Amino acid sequence: GAAAAAVGAGGFGLLWASADVSTVGKVRFVNRLVIPSLAAGRRDEAGRRVFDLRATTGTSRFRSGGATRTWGFGGGYLGPTLRAARGETVLVNVRNDLPETTTVHWHGMRLPAAMDGGPHQPIRPGTTWSPTWKVDQPASTLWYHPHPHGETAKHVYRGLAGLFIVDDPATGRLGLPSRYGVDDVPVIVQDKNFGDGNRFDEGHPLMGGLGIMGDTILVNGTLGPYHDVTTRRVRLRLLNASNARTYRFVLSDRRTFALVGTDGGLLPAPHTTDHIQLSPGERAEIVVAFAPGEKVVLRSDPPDLGEVGSARFVGGDDAFDVLELRAADRLAPSPALPGSLAEAPRIGPPGGAGARVDRRFELSGSKLNGKKMDMSRIDFAAATNATEIWELTSLGGKPHNFHVHDTHFQTLSVAGAPPPPELRGWKDTIFLRAQQPVRVAVRFGDHADPRTPYMFHCHILYHEDQGMMGQFVVTEPGQAPATSIAPHTGH
């Protein structure tokens, strides 16, 4: 039987539902970490890299006591890791074999709005959607997941998500660990509640205004996971693909590690730290050094959520184990970490928190700037290649974060202070502590389309589904943006 990764109470009291559960916050690591298969893709005659994804229902065995009904790409749970290099053109055939409409969004990808996979690109059951675009951005850990209007939480929770790794020849020779599944390891972290007969429990009366918070941790769909370390250094590509939970990743002996990348690419230089906090949708690449024979556990400490009312309902008190890393008695050498990695983002005004603010975004309750998402409303138009300064503020009450499609931003300031080292690289999703305005510089791409919007929203999926989301278009000079558009509802 497998072990359950029981999370601290979270107010739910479901921890003893299974005999698999050992101690609260302690996990028996009995399952080898599943590494999502790498979809290399194939080349078509036009030289494009072609991938096939099929969203479908299925079953997965997470633990003893019966299979769980899940949704996944290719059956089972989650999907393959897609991988492409900067400069390549990709084409993805996304087939929907689910009983309902879905979409597939490329989170963190810079691409034309019609390829973005948001709520305006529905894939009806039995049909295939085939977006194509040229990958043109730095090496980074991106991901894909459904984004159907009002249904994102359910589709992601049931298992539809996967990684999309972008390689960049310019930074490919830095010597970072890069053997996929060996010393370059995807770590997709999600929390689940298992109900009767091991079904995924999708709701609970004590949702606490956040949506689903699970008491059991899966990594790449593996419960109670361990990974065999065979090299001196290992890169972990951490993705918080949870609906609502924020993690504060640490190592069990409090050792430091090197943070080398965030959402949109590598940091200017490795940042030595002993923790990295990720809210839903955020990624981090970290490099951990090992001595032969040791065991180290990746854990989550109680996250720092700022003022959020009752910490216990939002996981603010929870600490638990995530993944055990087991070093072999002999470890292959790894190259030393380079002293510098990538160019620092420099699109904002020098000196950081300058005077000019082009747009303000306030998150409160389930509204963004006092409005709920309306598929037919365009909230603003931005010019191609323009740089705008945005101020993002959570008014509090509940935790919120902010994600914007098609672009990455440079963080200029947090509550008026210079950003901490973990926010000095490119980001597309950022946690907002209540009443601590975050200023960012956003550079729009050159994909103009006055009629097809991109999204910006809170990535706590219940909030997104509730309407904490808006839409913008990117236009060329002289192009008039649509002021309203006919929605495709797909339902």
Which residues here bind Cu ion, judged by CB under 5 A?
107, 400, 405, 458, 460, 463
Closest to Cu ion by CB, 37 vs 364, is: 364
Strands 387-394 and 438-443: antiparallel
Please answer whether residues 352 and 389 qualify as being in contact, where contact means their C-beta atoms are separated by less than 8 angstroms: no
Interface with ligand C2O includes 111 (CB under 6 A)? no
Of 71-79, 85-93, 129-137, 455-463, which part binds ligand C2O (CB under 6 A)?
A: 455-463
Which CB sits closer to ligand C2O, 4 or 404?
A: 404
Please identify which residue in 367, 398, 405, 408 interacts with ligand C2O, judged by CB under 6 A: 405
86: Cα separation from own chain's centroid:
20
Cα three-residue angle 98-94-457, rounded to 5 degrees: 85
Separation CA 265–CA 204 (nearest Å): 37
Tell me whether residue 3 or residue 458 sits nearer to Cu ion (CB atom).
458
Among 233, 237, 457, 463, binds ligand C2O (CB under 6 A): 457
Contact 460, 490 (CB under 8 A): no
Q: Residue type for 235, please?
A: R
Binds ligand C2O by CB under 6 A, chosen from 147, 227, 233, 439: 147
Secondary structure (3-state) at 276: strand
Q: Report if residue 455 touches ligand C2O, rule: CB under 6 A.
A: yes
From the CB of 149, what's the least distance to ligand C2O, in Å? 11
Q: Compose the 364-403 pattern: x for residues touching ligand C2O by CB under 6 A, - for all others.
A: ---------------------------------------x
- Compute, in degrees rounded to 10, the torsion defined by CA atoms 4, 10, 12, 17: 10
Question: Pick from 446, 484, 473: which is nearest to 382 by CA?
Answer: 473
Q: Which does 404 bind (CB under 5 to 8 A by kind): ligand C2O, Cu ion, none?
A: none
Per-residue contact string for residues 237-276; x = within reach of ligand C2O by CB under 6 A: ----------------------------------------
Cα gap 85→139, rounded to integer Å: 8
Nearest to 215 by CA among 186, 254, 244, 238: 244
SS3 355: coil
CA distance 42 to 59: 28
Report residue 202 as tokens: 């999708």
- Say how many residues make up the chain: 491
Coil/strand/helix, residue 223? strand
Instruction: Report what 457 binds from ligand C2O, Cu ion, none; CB cut-off 5-8 Å by kind.
Output: ligand C2O
CB of 363 to ligand C2O, least distance (A): 14
State the binding partner of 463 from Cu ion, ligand C2O, none, CB within 5 to 8 A by kind.
Cu ion
Closest distance of CB 193 from Cu ion, Å = 20
Instruction: Name the residue whose CB lies closest to ligand C2O.
Output: 107
Residues that bind ligand C2O (CB under 6 A): 105, 107, 145, 147, 281, 403, 405, 455, 457, 459
